[in-house]
Structure 1
Amino acid sequence: MEGKNYINGEWNTEGDGVINVMNPATGEQVGTVPNGGEKEATAAVEAAAAAFPGWSKTTAYERAELLMKWHDLLLEHKEEVGEILTKEMGKPLAEAIGEVEYSASFISWFAEEGKRLYGRTIPASKEGKRIQINKQPVGVVVSITPWNFPAAMMARKMAPALAAGCTFVSKPAKLTPLTAVRMFELAEEAGFPKGVINLVTGSASKIGKVFTSHPDVRKLTFTGSTEIGKELMKQSSETMLNLSLELGGHAPIIVLDDANLDLAVEGVVASKFRNAGQTCVCGNRIYVQSGIADEFAKRLQEATSKLKVGNGMDEGVTIGPLVDKDGYEKVQQHVQDAVSKGAKVLIGGDGSTENDSYFYNPTVLVNASSDMLVMHEETFGPVAPIMTFEKDEEAIKLANDTRFGLAAYFFTDSMTRGTYIAENLDYGIVGWNDGAPSTAQAPFGGMKESGIGREGGQEGLEAFVETKYISIKI
Structure 2
Amino acid sequence: MTLHFRDIVAPAVDARRFRMFIDGAWVNASDGAVNERRSPAHDVPVTLVPRGTAADADRAVAAARAAFDDGRWSGLSGEARARVLLDAARIVRERLEEIALVETLETGKPITQSRGEVGGAAGIFEYAAGQARALHGDSFNNLGDEMLGLVTREPIGVVGVITPWNFPFFILCERVPFILAAGCTVVVKPSELTSASTLLLADVLAAAGLPAGVFNVVTGPGAVVGRRLAEHDDVDMISFTGSTDVGRGTLAASAGNMKKVGLELGGKNPQVVFADADLDAAADGVVFGLVFNAGQCCVSGSRLVVERSIADAFAARVVEKIGRLRIGDPLDEATQVGAIVDERQHTRILALIDEGKRDGARLLCGGEAFETSRGRFIQPTVFAGADRGMSIAQEEIFGPVLTILPFDGLADAIRIANDTCFGLAGSIWTSDLNKALKTMRGLKAGRVWINCTIAGGPELPIGGFKQSGTGRETGAYGVEEYTEIKSTHIALGERTRWVAP
TM-score, normalised on structure 1?
0.97
Matched with 2:26 is 11
Matched with 1:294 is 312
In structure 2, which of residues 468, 474, 483 is the aligned counterpart of residue 465 of structure 1?
A: 483
1:384: how far off?
1.8
1:378: how far off?
0.7
Distance across 1 between alignment mates of 2:30 and 2:194: 17
1:36: how far off?
0.6
The answer to whether residue 415 in structure 2 is matched with residue 400 in structure 1 is no
1:418: how far off?
1.1
Distance across 2 between alignment mates of 1:266 and 1:117: 39
Matched with 2:390 is 372
Distance across 2 between alignment mates of 1:290 and 1:212: 46
Helix, strand or coil for the counterpart of 1:95?
A: helix
Distance across 1 between alignment mates of 2:382 and 2:245: 28
1:355: how far off?
5.9
The answer to whether residue 156 in structure 2 is matched with residue 138 in structure 1 is yes
Distance across 2 between alignment mates of 1:356 and 1:245: 35
The answer to whether residue 469 in structure 2 is matched with residue 429 in structure 1 is no
Helix, strand or coil for the counterpart of 2:325?
A: coil
1:50-449 to 2 correspondence within 5 Å? 50-52=66-68, 53-352=71-370, 357-449=375-467
1:398: how far off?
1.0
In structure 2, which of residues 470, 473, 488 is the aligned counterpart of residue 452 of structure 1?
A: 470
In structure 1, which of residues 10, 16, 39 is the aligned counterpart of residue 55 of structure 2?
A: 39
Letter in 2 for 1:50: A
| Most deviating of 431-440 and 258-267 | 431-440
1:14: how far off?
2.3
Letter in 2 for 1:360: I
Letter in 1 for 2:27: N
Q: 1:438–1:444: 8 Å Cα contact kept in structure 2? A: no
Helix, strand or coil for the counterpart of 1:198?
A: strand
Distance across 2 between alignment mates of 1:111 and 1:343: 49
Q: Unaligned stretches of 5+ in structure 1?
A: none
Q: 1:15–1:34: 8 Å Cα contact kept in structure 2? A: no
Distance across 1 between alignment mates of 2:468 and 2:301: 15
| Most deviating of 97-106 and 332-341 | 332-341
Helix, strand or coil for the counterpart of 1:352?
A: coil
Distance across 1 between alignment mates of 2:438 and 2:483: 35
Q: 1:267–1:434: 8 Å Cα contact kept in structure 2? A: yes
Letter in 2 for 1:386: I
1:335: how far off?
2.3
| Most deviating of 203-212 and 19-28 | 203-212
Helix, strand or coil for the counterpart of 2:216?
A: strand
Helix, strand or coil for the counterpart of 1:430?
A: strand
1:34: how far off?
0.7
Letter in 2 for 1:176: T
1:204: how far off?
1.5
Letter in 1 for 2:280: D
Distance across 1 between alignment mates of 2:134 and 2:312: 51
Q: 2:86–2:129: 8 Å Cα contact kept in structure 1? A: yes
Letter in 1 for 2:377: F
Helix, strand or coil for the counterpart of 1:357?
A: coil
Helix, strand or coil for the counterpart of 1:162?
A: helix
Q: 2:289–2:302: 8 Å Cα contact kept in structure 1? A: no
Q: 2:192–2:219: 8 Å Cα contact kept in structure 1? A: yes
Letter in 2 for 1:253: Q
Helix, strand or coil for the counterpart of 1:466?
A: strand
Q: 2:143–2:149: 8 Å Cα contact kept in structure 1? A: no
Distance across 2 between alignment mates of 1:43 and 1:245: 24
1:337: how far off?
2.5
Letter in 2 for 1:211: L
1:356: how far off?
6.8
1:120: how far off?
1.3
Q: 1:18–1:32: 8 Å Cα contact kept in structure 2? A: yes
Q: 2:299–2:454: 8 Å Cα contact kept in structure 1? A: no
1:16-35 to 2 correspondence within 5 Å? 16=31, 17-35=33-51
Q: 1:212–1:239: 8 Å Cα contact kept in structure 2? A: no
Letter in 1 for 2:23: N
Q: Unaligned stretches of 5+ in structure 2?
A: 1-15, 493-501
Helix, strand or coil for the counterpart of 1:55?
A: coil
Map Cα deviations across residues 409-445 of structure 1 (whole Å, 9 max, x no partner): 1111111111111101111111111112342111100
Distance across 1 between alignment mates of 2:171 and 2:38: 20
**Aligned positions, number:** 474
Distance across 2 between alignment mates of 1:212 and 1:367: 43
Letter in 1 for 2:414: I
Distance across 2 between alignment mates of 1:462 and 1:404: 25
| Most deviating of 289-298 and 272-281 | 289-298
**1:344–1:214 CA distance, 2 compared to 1 (3 A):** closer
Larger Rg: 2
Distance across 1 between alignment mates of 2:349 and 2:164: 19
1:354: how far off?
5.1
| Most deviating of 204-213 and 418-427 | 204-213
1:210: how far off?
2.6
Map Cα deviations across residues 34-87 of structure 1 (whole Å, 9 max, x no partner): 111111111111111111122111011111111111111111111111110000
Q: 2:112–2:333: 8 Å Cα contact kept in structure 1? A: no
Distance across 1 between alignment mates of 2:445 and 2:360: 29
Letter in 2 for 1:44: A
CA RMSD between the two structures: 1.4
Letter in 2 for 1:448: K
1:29: how far off?
0.9
Helix, strand or coil for the counterpart of 2:161?
A: strand
Letter in 1 for 2:38: M
Q: 2:72–2:211: 8 Å Cα contact kept in structure 1? A: no
Letter in 2 for 1:6: F
